[in-house]
Amino acid sequence: MPELAIEKLQKDKKVDPQMSDDEVEQIRTWLAVPDRIIGWKGLPFCESLVADYPYVVDYYLHGGRERLREAVSDVARLLRRDSSVREFDEAETSSEEKTALLEPGEITEHFARLDRVLDTDPHYRYDYSIDSRPPDPMFEPGLVAAKQLRIRDDRWLTFKIYARSAQSLEERPIPLKLTLQFEPDSASDESFKDWLKYGKPFEGDAAVESDLPGGLGTEHLAGRVVMMADEVEEQRFHNRQQIVGPDRSVLAEVRYTLTSLSGPQRTGIRAHGQDESGLLEVESLFDVESQYGTMNYTLKPLAGVVASRALPAITFARHLCAPNILRIAGEYGPFEDQLELTGPGTIVTEDVADVVRDLAIIQGQTSVPVVIPNFQEESYTIEDIKEIRRAALLIERHTVIQEWSAFEIPKFPHVEVVPGTHCYVQAGQYLRLRKITGDVVLGRVQQLVTSATIASVQGDLVRIVPYKENTMYLTMVDRLPEAPAGSVAVLFAEIPDEEESMDPRDSA
């Protein structure tokens, strides 16, 4: 059937000029491509296409006569509308008359007619806008180019060029010449080589020449060029990465969502992505020729992130150093591939990792999100960090030991207190971290002093000072002793001289 169609085309006297032998050979070569699939459509199908796309027939078969006739007619109407905008003398026209000269609502039809004039290209369609600032052109389906022009100091005209079909770039190619401008062996040179090999994005200075459709071509335009890998060839996958110590104990594990692609040379593979928290980014570059690869990790800023969400990534980053071992596995299954880590440093310090862990522990005591502060900008002190550490230890039911100094407590009238008495003191307080969680109560803390002296009693105040040592023991408890509203109970008991060595924590 294809040969019959070719034979009829050769004999058809209406085809002008007649098909040449080269054209016939071109058709046969196209047909001979392996696995070529041809769908045959009848004349009614072609006529329906003509009805839907008359400008295509007009462009190819009639030299665009109808398109030109309609365009001339619309342009004439545009010119008549423009001439109706009356001219005025700047010196003789009042400000009120100037502002009323022409309003946007009056030129709706004007713009619609202008759009029809521009929408007659069979290969491309054009969007255009006037803005007070140049909009950033984003990648869109079918968008092949955009051009922006400053038409006034504060006004920008933007044209966007879209391909009407998959054949547009073949029927009407857009020649583009880029002349990259960088020195050999410079950072830009290395970045360009990475794009060629791995498809890693490149950005650099360049001179551009192009023959854009619609008369929007450019010549010797200097600017910046960004080269990306072909998104169509990207492959998305998931994997898990685990860090183990020299004794093979698991120190950290995270899951990654990655994208794999290659550069134009097809000699390297780049996989990049991030963990579930979005904080830890990884990039692996594998050279197919040398069979050598590298992995690079980057940690995003932590301020404002919920600590419990960030903890897995922070723990992983903390242990990402020698002599630990990195193990990699697919989304499921055992860990098989492994890589000995080199370099003593990590991308997050131990102090930062400890604070994030403490904040994640504190999160378990409140429904209020516990976020990582910006410690520098929010004026956190060393004592603030220690307070976070103490709170985490207490929540984990550890006993916190700290020093104490003299303090005063109220004395109730019915209580007899003798100055000089040696005693132990038990008090309670609510655990709060006002800089982190405000007034939220995180728990109840018992304070125990094992060696104290009642220094003085003045009115209703009792002054207590350290005796043999100034150690205080803090522990989390389920409840505190009952006390009047607005106060906290303080219990103290006299220690007889012969029992001064007794530890009240071991007694009832």
Tokens representing 1? 């059937």
Q: What is d(CA 492, CA 423) in angstroms, rounded to the nearest whole number?
A: 6
Which of 231-235, 324-328, 417-421 reaches the highest mean pLDDT?
Answer: 324-328
> What pLDDT is stored for residue 413 in this prediction?
76
Buried b (16+ CB within 10 A) or exposed e, 278-312: ebbbbbbbbeeeeeeeebebebeebeebebbbbbb
> What average pLDDT does this structure show over 268-281?
94
Question: pLDDT category, 306, cuts 50, 70, 90?
Answer: very high
Task: Confirm if 262 and 269 have CB atoms less than 8 A apart.
Answer: yes
Q: What is d(CA 335, CA 244) in angstroms, rounded to the nearest whole number?
A: 11
Residues 311, 316, 319, 322, Cα dihedral to 10°: -170
> What pLDDT is stored for residue 340 in this prediction?
87
> What average pLDDT does this structure show over 375-395?
91
The number of CA neighbours under 13 Å toward the Cβ of 258 is: 24
Worst-scoring range by mean pLDDT, 82-91, 306-315, 442-451? 82-91
Under DSSP, the state recorded for 32 is T
> What average pLDDT does this structure show over 112-121?
76
What mean pLDDT is reported for the chain?
Answer: 84
Q: What is d(CA 235, CA 269) in angstroms, rounded to the nearest whole number?
A: 11
Counting DSSP H helices and E strands in the chain, the numbers are 13, 20
* pTM greater than 0.85 (yes/no): no
Q: What is d(CA 389, CA 284) in angstroms, rounded to the nearest whole number?
A: 36
> What average pLDDT does this structure show over 487-505?
60
**In the chain, where are the structural domains located?**
1-39, 41-120, 176-228, 233-361, 397-506
Task: Indicate the pairing of strand 400-403 with strand 235-244.
Answer: unpaired
Task: Confirm if 388 and 418 have CB atoms less than 8 A apart.
Answer: no
Percent of the chain with pLDDT over 90: 40
Q: What is d(CA 173, CA 329) in angstroms, rounded to the nearest whole number?
A: 45
Question: pLDDT category, 506, cuts 50, 70, 90?
Answer: very low
187 contacts: CB under 8 Å, gap ≥ 6: none
> What average pLDDT does this structure show over 34-41?
83
Percent of the chain with pLDDT over 70: 86
Q: Which residues pair with 101 in a beta bridge?
A: none
> What average pLDDT does this structure show over 231-236?
80
pLDDT at 338 over 70: yes
Which of 56-65, 88-97, 306-315 reaches the highest mean pLDDT?
Answer: 306-315
> What pLDDT is stored for residue 38 in this prediction?
79
> What pLDDT is stored for residue 504 in this prediction?
47
Q: What is d(CA 467, CA 457) in angstroms, rounded to the nearest whole number?
A: 16
Tokens representing 206? 């360049």
pLDDT digits (tens, 9 = 90+) for 137-178: 788 889 998 888 888 778 899 999 999 888 899 888 999 888
> What pLDDT is stored for residue 77 in this prediction?
62
**Among 213, 218, 63, residue whose Cα is nearest residue 124:** 213
DSSP E strand boundaries for 218-335: 218-227, 235-244, 250-262, 268-275, 280-287, 292-299, 325-330
pLDDT higher at 489 or 431: 431
Question: pLDDT category, 68, cuts 50, 70, 90?
Answer: low
Reduced to 3 states, what is the DSSP secondary structure of residue 91? coil
Q: Which residues pair with 328 in a beta bridge?
A: 241, 337
pLDDT higher at 292 or 17: 292
293 contacts: CB under 8 Å, gap ≥ 6: 284, 285, 286, 287
Tokens representing 61? 């078969």
> What pLDDT is stored for residue 507 in this prediction?
37
pLDDT higher at 56 or 276: 276
pLDDT higher at 401 or 114: 401
Reduced to 3 states, what is the DSSP secondary structure of residue 478? coil
305 phi, psi to nearest 5 deg: -90, 140
Let me know if 356 is exposed, middle or buried by CB neighbors in 10 A (0-12, 13-18, 19+): buried
> What pLDDT is stored for residue 464 in this prediction?
92
> What pLDDT is stored for residue 94 in this prediction?
56
